[in-house]
Amino acid sequence: MYKTFIRVYNKSDIGERVTGNYDYFIGLDVSPYIGNWVAICDEKVVAHSKSFKEVYAEAKEKCGRSKPFIAMVPTDETMIL
């Protein structure tokens, strides 16, 4: 199942940072990340793995106070309805 997660923690996170990371993800060549979770901070991929927990922990460490955008890149077999 394909899910995209945007988690907003407080009002200061709403706006350009979240939108910029989402826009970066939409335009990103995701072929190297198929089947992986991807974390993006400041319009850069900062972590990727098959494990959400690993990606979240690494992104939290690398992003500092910024909140990461985390999404799963689906495989070819994934059906999106």
2 pLDDT band, cuts 50/70/90, is: low
Q: CA 77 to CA 53: how far, in whole Å?
A: 23
pLDDT of 65: 85
| 22-71 pLDDT, tens digit each | 999 999 999 999 999 999 999 999 999 999 999 999 999 999 888 899 99
Provide mean pLDDT across the span 8-17: 52
Q: CA torsion, points 11, 8, 15, 70, in degrees to nearest 10?
A: 160
pLDDT of 78: 72
β-sheet bridge partners, residue 49? 37
